[in-house]
Structure 1
């Protein structure tokens, strides 16, 4: 099965109009993310809003080999808002499989950004920030379904005891570092919890996502 990092997914943004995000901070609350466009690759991961002591969160529950994500398909101006910040909490991590193989390409929590080339589609590039216990924090590797996507392990959260993880990345710097490319805009942002390759159960909570100036 082709992963959401593949060209067939990445280029879905082409059919949609583009609206650049202003220089002010852009905030996506869990309720906003819940209304992003769904896309299924192997059944449907369940995404549902839930009230917790930390406030409202978006819970992703992946069972029985499903893989689907939620997509924000608007042009994001990285010259104005290059920094992405987000929070997530892994409840049930993926523990089986080598993430550097197709058979192990599942993650309890991931967020990715796409630099899509409208004409030369092979020039499309993506960054995948993932939570995984199967790689050391800071590791990176090429996705086995789409070499144009770089996987980046931002944490090793192994379950509820590890609590909420907060991350901050500079997208322009990461595209330069991992793809040797100066990127001014990206055309898609997405979250996904998937378990179709390993057949395991995965659950995670997603909090607020922010795009902001440096």
Structure 2
């Protein structure tokens, strides 16, 4: 067989084998996550070491569509995506959700009121190589307690119980977490609400700087500070590039 023909055949075979064993590359314009909650294969429970009563997350159907049901009752925990993504490649977020009620004592500005019937929690990954000495010490201590590094910073898309909640609120627990109300008060309780946004632009507006590249998300319903209860539903979450 001619040498050039052998090389061409070998190249084609290698390409075929590579396509069978390697995952396809995500191209510009593609979707990183298109979650409709028909299963929880891509998710894992996420609990907090100082909270013993956990919120409940189950799959259900509402209005003819599959969705995630989140129930909090003087409790707090989350459901976390197992994968990380690059927010510069996939900056767009869209999700649809509804709640059964808000919290009478809910108040984003106070520790006692820092509960939300539903939130989408975007966590940006801590990178030791880009941290100061003080940050490294702080994060190593946190990892010793919790078994993993806490996020570098986070955006929390929340349903605020107060009608007059500001557009951007610093968490009463840490300046590394910013709360962004996407619904407020009782007006939309019991109906589906859809929110679309750009994670990079939101981070820049909230923190005044560019975000770390890698992030993951969690969904959460918590009521441990107010001692109240709520039920929420999420029927879709999309993370995409355009």
TM-score by length of 2: 0.73
**Does residue 1:60 correspond to 2:67, yes or no?**
no
Whole-angstrom distance in 2 between the partners of 1:126 and 1:161: 25
User: Does the 8 A contact of 1:137 with 1:154 survive in 2?
Assistant: no
What is the match of residue 188 of structure 1?
216
The aligned residue for residue 60 of structure 2 is 50
Q: RMSD of aligned C-alpha atoms?
A: 2.4
Where does the alignment leave 5 or more consecutive residues of structure 1 unmatched? 1-18
User: Is the Cα contact below 8 Å between 1:92 and 1:203 reproduced in 2?
Assistant: yes
Q: Give the greater-gyration-radius structure (CA).
A: 2
2 CA distance for matches of 1:189 and 1:170? 14
- Which structure shows the bigger proportion of residues in strand conformation? 1
TM-score using structure 1 length = 0.81
Residue 31 of structure 1, aligned match among 38, 44, 55: 38
Equivalences for residues 1-214 of structure 1 within 5 A: 22=26, 23=28, 24-25=30-31, 26-33=33-40, 36-41=43-48, 42=51, 43-63=53-73, 65-119=74-128, 120=131, 121=135, 124-136=152-164, 139-156=167-184, 158=186, 162-183=190-211, 185-214=213-242
Unaligned runs of 5+ in 2: 1-22, 140-150
Greater shift in the superposed pair: 115-124 or 23-32: 115-124
Distance (Å, rounded) in 1 between the aligned partners of 2:88 and 2:122:
15
Q: Secondary structure at the match of 1:92?
A: coil
State how far apart, in whole Å, the 1-side matches of 2:209 and 2:40 are. 28
